[in-house]
Amino acid sequence: MKYLVLALVLAGAFAPAQSNAQVKIDMSKITCGEVLAMPADDQSDFAAFFSGWFAQKNNRTFVDVGLFEKNVVSVMDWCKSNKSESLMAGLQRAYEKK
């Protein structure tokens, strides 16, 4: 009996997982309304992730924490009046103006 249990445990440990946990998200299609609907903690995590992702797309290799916080407030204010716009479109417009 012990050998059967051991064999089942080992088989389960080495068997490939049957689920696919990966999800693809098109960051350019996320709207301001979707971001505003997130809980506050998720919004701050998403802002940090999106800021890094956007910086990489624009070949920026530095982090300015003060500027990041100012930009988050600015983008969230813009989003409140542009809920159907994609977040990426708003960021791209702001980036091009600089």
Q: Could you state, in order of their start, the residue ranges of all structural domains in the chain? A: 24-97
Mean pLDDT of the chain: 79
Q: What is the pLDDT of residue 91?
A: 78
User: How many C-beta atoms surround the C-beta of residue 79 within 10 A?
Assistant: 18
DSSP reduced 3-state for 31: strand
DSSP reduced 3-state for 86: strand
Could you give the C-alpha distances from 59 to 53, 55, 89, in angstroms and in order?
10, 6, 17
CATH 1.10.890 for domain 24-97, yes or no, is yes
Q: What is the DSSP letter of 37?
A: T
More confident residue, 57 or 14: 57
Mean pLDDT of 1-15: 57
Q: Is the pTM of this model over 0.75?
A: no
